[in-house]
Structure 1
């Protein structure tokens, strides 16, 4: 059995939300009580961040990001996945550093938003998450354990395609 490869210290954070700013949060299986948006590392250094975001959303929530979503399916439009152009560089929590090559202490996170239809079914990866919750955006930010995740959620209204959607 070969050794598991080290994680790449470049990841995505995907704030999944509805048009009316309900935000999906997931409770980590390895750290109960730690709530977060979808996150995940690139599979290879060459993998584009957009591809990482699409893959991680599917793996962690069962929501497929596709060109043309079908009604009644756990699918969201690729056009609804937006790179916010935000990059967070942060210290990797010591509890997770063993997953990275020796000496790697920082991660670069690319922030995306994904608008999904209200009521879209969520199917969690049980090894990764215990449960999920849809919360109003400010409440979701307050529940996040990660400061960069909370800050991203607080930025959500800025990145809506139509700011009048808040009225």
Structure 2
């Protein structure tokens, strides 16, 4: 279509820490970035999209994991980060937008859950113990989220408040 311009990104996003009951965290490496290991992240597709829906969609798009599969539990941590958008990525947003609001989620998955990356976005994946995952994250807010995992997800499949399916 001639003259078509992609819409600007919405400055509201999700960060989803995917982990096993033993607190092994899935990290994915961004395409084109040698050392950019991260959890699943992504912006809303439209302003009214609920954060939970964005989290479920981004997990499926980036890892192929169905958040509603047996043994999976998506939890809204009811925490948000507000941060400056890196200058090299500001062109993706409307003029004058310089800050993003990010909602944090955890996704507990059974050990051995298969991962299918979208090669346009990510090239590699690995599971690391939660403290090592925090050390490997390039983003300080992502590292902090990994370190908060024990507070929001009891080990070995213990209780915790999850989202209704």
**TM-score normalised by the chain length of structure 1:** 0.89
- Residue 32 of structure 1, CA deviation: 2.2
Structure 2 match to 1:100: 93
Q: Which moved more, 1:12-21 or 1:93-102?
A: 93-102
Q: Does 1:15 align with 2:9?
A: no
The two structures, once aligned, show a CA RMSD in angstroms of 1.5
Structure 2 match to 1:72: none
Check the 8 A contact 2:21/2:155 in 1, yes or no.
Answer: no
Structure 2 match to 1:128: 121
Match of 1:56 among 48, 55, 58: 58
For structure 2, the 5+ residue unaligned runs are 159-165
Q: What are the residue-to-residue correspondences of 1:1-167 with 2, within 5 Å?
A: 1=1, 2-66=4-68, 69=70, 77=72, 80-160=73-153, 162=154
Distance 1:159 1:44 in 2: 28
Distance 1:61 1:37 in 2: 10
Distance 1:163 1:63 in 2: 21
Distance 2:44 2:65 in 1: 18
Q: How many residues align?
A: 156
After superposition, the C-alpha distances for 1:70-112 in whole angstroms (9 at most, x for unaligned) are xxxxxx53xx100001100001111111110111110000000
Distance 2:156 2:111 in 1: 18
Distance 1:164 1:47 in 2: 32
After superposition, the C-alpha distances for 1:1-60 in whole angstroms (9 at most, x for unaligned) are 310000000000000000000000000003221010000000000100000000000000
Distance 1:100 1:108 in 2: 13
For structure 1, the 5+ residue unaligned runs are 70-75
